[in-house]
Structure 1
Amino acid sequence: MKKYIICFLAFLAFSNSQAQEKGDVRYQFGGDYKLSIDYFGAHAGIEYLFIDKFSLAPNFTFWFPPVGRSSNLNMDLRYYLTSGSSQLYVMGGYSNFWINTQPGMAGETVSRPGGNFGIGANLRISGNWGINTEFKVQSQNTRQPVLRIGLVFGLGN
Structure 2
Amino acid sequence: MKKLVIICLIFGVVAIAQAQEQGDFRVQLGGEYKLQIQDFGANAGVEYFFADKFALAPNFTYWFPQVGRSMNFNMDLRYYLTEGVSQVYVLGGYSNYWINLQPGIPGLNQTRPGGNFGLGAMIALVDGIGLNTEFKVQSQNTRQPVLRVGLVFGL
- TM-score normalized by structure 2? 0.84
By how many angstroms is 1:132 displaced?
Answer: 0.4
Do structure 1's residue 91 and structure 2's residue 91 form an aligned pair? yes
Q: RMSD of aligned C-alpha atoms? A: 1.2
Kept in 1: contact 2:22–2:52 (CA 8 A): no
Deviates more, 1:21-30 or 1:82-91: 21-30
By how many angstroms is 1:73 displaced?
Answer: 0.2
- Partner of residue 61, structure 1: 61
Aligned pairs (5 A) from 1:4-153: 23-102=23-102, 104-107=103-106, 108-153=108-153
Work out the number of aligned pairs and report it.
Answer: 134
By how many angstroms is 1:106 displaced?
Answer: 2.4
Tell me the distance in 2 between the aligned counterparts of 1:22 and 1:139. Answer: 30
Q: Structure 1 counterpart of 2:105, which letter?
A: A
By how many angstroms is 1:105 displaced?
Answer: 2.2
Q: Structure 1 counterpart of 2:127, which letter?
A: G
Tell me the distance in 1 between the aligned counterparts of 2:104 and 2:94. Answer: 27
Runs (5+) with no aligned partner, structure 2: 1-20
Tell me the distance in 2 between the aligned counterparts of 1:60 and 1:37. Answer: 19
By how many angstroms is 1:22 displaced?
Answer: 5.1
Secondary structure in 1 aligned to 2:41? strand
Show CA shifts across 1:21-56 (max 9, x none).
Answer: 952100001000000010000000000000110000
Percent identity between the two aligned chains: 69
Tell me the distance in 1 between the aligned counterparts of 2:154 and 2:126. Answer: 11
Q: Where does structure 1 differ by over 4 angstroms across 4 or more consecutive aligned residues?
A: none
Show CA shifts across 1:60-85 (max 9, x none).
Answer: 00000000000000000000000001
Q: Structure 2 counterpart of 1:105, which letter?
A: G
Larger Rg: 2
